[in-house]
Amino acid sequence: MWHKAPMPPFIFISLLLLTACSQSPAPKSVEETNPELNALLDASLNSDYTYDKLGELCDTIGPRLTGSPQMKKAIEWSMNSMREAGFDSVWTEPVVVPYWTRGQEWARCTAPVEFDLILSGLGLSDGTGPEGIEAEVLAVRDFEELEARADEVPGKIVLFNPPWQGYSKTVQYRVHGASKAARHGAVAALVRSVTGNSLGAPHTGMMHYAEDAPRIPTAALTVEDAGRLHRMCQRGLKPVVKLYMEAQNHEDTISYNVVGDIRGSQWPEEIVLVGGHLDSWDVGTCAQDDGAGVALSLGAAQMILKQELRPLRTVRVVHFTCEEMGGHGGRAYLEAHRFELENHVFALESDAGSYTPLGFSVDADSLVIEHITELAAPLARIAPGSWKIRQGGSGVDIGPIVRSGVPGAGHWVDTTHYFDVHHSLADTFEKIDPDLLARNVAVIAGLIFAVADEPVSLRTLTDSNADGGH
Ligand SMILES: [Zn+2]
């Protein structure tokens, strides 16, 4: 934050004269045009509420795998937190979700040299059975090499060791590697952790079995172990690996989205949604993914309440369930709220961690982006030098309602180090910088308040036949 020094009287008078003489008035500062927004930003920068709540979630509940006892506790925690913060109404909405458990797991290179491998079974993978699986490793760099060497695959454990090419490209090996290898007769699939930087921690995440391929167990290895096995293969050493995984897919179960409203003063039926996903993987304590988004949406709403602001529209916080195992919470929200979808004016999701704020990526018409850019202009002081509203994706959880016409945005931060810890043991509360978290609360609270308290509805900017709204 910056502080304004008091102005000496003679400068003040000169400025008054100058203003009076000039043809167009000097542009007004944020303090003059929107004192409430400005005070909200300052209060957010000076509050440790969100940091405290995120620490509570991570340290006293821990990781929150869908269907797990910790996820049930987290749902209670979310409801209690919203109630304590003073939300007008708080409720849960049921979601049918897959239920997967990891159990014990280990892997070991048994020949020609013996050493333990550090692994993390992939979410929704089947287990190996009690005997485990022992086979020679065939290491490939990419899917093209797998296809080229298809005749070598039968009976082997295929190891995918692709270079890091950014998340969306590299994650294809984690998601589809098992089925692609199984089609050629592989007995298991290992994949290099999807990260650009590794300090020896494996990174888990969801995999997907194709209908037309045998289901083989699959796990992530550390970048280091994947590299070592691949180099052994290149030396012609034919490494053999023994893999043991108790992973199990159970019957679907019921989990819940948590929803809390701060009723709007003038158009309570109109909704400005902000959220993140409460579920997580079962390693580390999942502070960045997505404890941060959960705490930021809660903390931003709490700041609006604490400042005793009552925006024109309803501010709704949603803590989604089962994002990690397929985005079930987001789809269930769409189904449960189709009846009031037209009243969803805006949706904002935070699911990229709490790093240096850069702005927002908006998934909407250009008119909406222009309007959001104007509304968000006062927030630029929170991210000096880097602030931008760009066109782009919003998020997995709000994706279903955004694709159904709700203007959406993603909380955009510098993700240079996000994937270093993502889905790994290293995603813990130490990785949260309190100053950056406070700045992220400020930009989220600021944007949500600005949109919820804006006389013009964003929906009227996208509806061609609208009459201008309120
Ligand atoms: Zn996430």
Percent of the chain at pLDDT > 70 equals 91
| pLDDT above 80 for 445 | yes
Comparison of pLDDT for 226 and 23, the residue scoring more: 226
Measured in Å, residue 61 CA sits from the centre of ligand 1 at 17
203 Cα: distance to centroid of ligand 1 (angstroms): 13
Domain boundaries, the chain: 30-100+251-462, 103-246
- H/E stretch holding 332 reads helix 328-336
3-state secondary structure of 372: helix
User: Distance between CA 65 and CA 57 in Å, rounded?
Assistant: 13
| HSE-CB for 283 with a 13 A CA cutoff | 21
Is the model more confident about 192 or about 470? 192
Mean pLDDT within 37-44: 97
Q: Which CATH code fits 30-100+251-462?
A: 3.40.630.10
Hey, what CATH topology would domain 103-246 get?
A: Glucose Oxidase; domain 1 (3.50.30)
In this prediction, residues 376-400 reach a mean pLDDT of 95
Centre of ligand 1 to C-alpha 467, Å, is: 38
Rounded CA-CA distance 118/261 in Å is: 44
Task: Record the tokens describing residue 167, joined without a space.
Answer: 């998340």
Least confident range from 3-17, 75-89, 290-304: namely 3-17
Residues 142-158: tens digit of each pLDDT:
999 999 999 999 999 99
CA of 57 to the centre of ligand 1 (A): 15
Per-residue pLDDT of 165-213, as tens digits, reads 999 999 999 999 999 999 999 999 999 999 999 999 999 999 999 999 9
215 CA to middle of ligand 1, Å? Answer: 26
Identical fold for domains 30-100+251-462 and 103-246, yes or no, is no
CA of 352 to the centre of ligand 1 (A): 7
pLDDT in tens, 111-125: 999 999 999 999 999
Distance (Å, whole) CA 437 – CA 450:
20
**61-87 per-residue burial string, b: 16 or more CB within 10 A, e: under 16:** bbbbbbbbebbeebbebbbebbeebeb
For residue 429, give the amino acid letter.
F
Q: Which residues are catalytic?
A: 323
Q: Name the residue type at position 143.
A: F
Q: Which residue is it, tokens 């927004």? A: 37
User: pLDDT tens-digit profile of 338-382?
Assistant: 999 999 999 999 999 999 999 999 999 999 999 999 999 999 999
- Ligand 1 is a single-atom ion; what residues have CB below 5 A from it? 289-290, 351
Calculate how far, in angstroms, residue 146's C-alpha sits from the geometric centre of ligand 1: 30
Neighbours of 406 (CB within 10 A): 26
